[in-house]
Amino acid sequence: MFTNKNTYKPFVTVDCVVFGLDKSEEIRVLLIKRAYPPFKDSWALPGGFVIENETLEEAARRELHEETGVRDLFIEQLYTFGKLNRDPRGHVISVAYYALVNLDKHPPSASTDASEAKWYKLSEIPELAFDHLKILETATNRLNSKVRYQPVGFELLPEKFTLSELQNLYETILGKPLNRRNFRSKFLKMGILEQLERQKDVAHRPANLYKFNKEKYEELTSNGFEFAISVPKHKK
């Protein structure tokens, strides 16, 4: 076994990109305003140092809850960022995570080393501390890819939703219009949506409400089912 008492050990942090969908069906990202240097009063992604006897995911969930009050959410490891000059405090390696939440269920509340926590529109992101813009861009690209082959988009929707809301979600994430008939037919044929009651107290014609049947999806997946959403290519 290789041992060296003088082995250099860089610091390890976690950073979290949390996506939410607002009532105008626009993607938002949860940011915190740093209360301490470096980058005091700058906006950043929630995160912090990994402490002793803590896994990376435990650290990500802890920091997210401590700084924003958000907890109990889907979270997945994204990428590792380790450029030597990414943090003025020294050699700091960051393991980034991304999360998807129903924004209404997760109102942020700043705490610990965050003076403020706020949902920002993805189209209106302020200047970010460290290399957090790069982390955000990486997470956005991952989300764009992930929704095509896994049903993670349902994490952003309310428990009950219409097919129009589902399609608007995909069009927002993918940044492309989707054929209404093909999109609806595709999802209904999958068998992973459970039809519920119709909408009530709406000004327009009530639409059917649906919910994602996770148990059915897992059953189908165990039998070889593959979730896939095709995206039309731009015509030249």
**Mean pLDDT across the stretch 21-49?**
94
Query: What gap in Å lies between CA 232 and CA 236, rounded to an integer?
Result: 12
Task: Choose among 154, 120, 136: nearest CA to 33.
Answer: 120
CB 176 within 8 A of CB 52: no
Q: Which of 116, 155, 165, 171 is catalytic?
A: 116
Backbone angles phi, psi at 135, to 5 degrees: -65, -45
Per-residue model confidence as pLDDT tens digits over 86-119: 999 999 999 999 999 988 888 888 888 899 999 9
pLDDT of 7: 80
DSSP characters for 152-169? Answer: GGGGGS-SSB-HHHHHHH
- Looking at domain 11-148, its CATH architecture is Alpha-Beta Complex (3.90)
In CATH terms, the fold of domain 157-222 is Arc Repressor Mutant, subunit A (1.10.10)
pLDDT of 236: 45
Whether 157-222 and 11-148 are alike in CATH topology: the answer is: no
Q: Which of 3-12, 77-86, 227-236 shows the lowest mean pLDDT across its residues?
A: 227-236
116 is catalytic: yes
Per-residue model confidence as pLDDT tens digits over 111-153: 888 999 999 999 999 999 999 999 999 999 999 999 999 999 9
Q: pTM to 2 decimals?
A: 0.89
Domain ranges of the chain: 11-148, 157-222
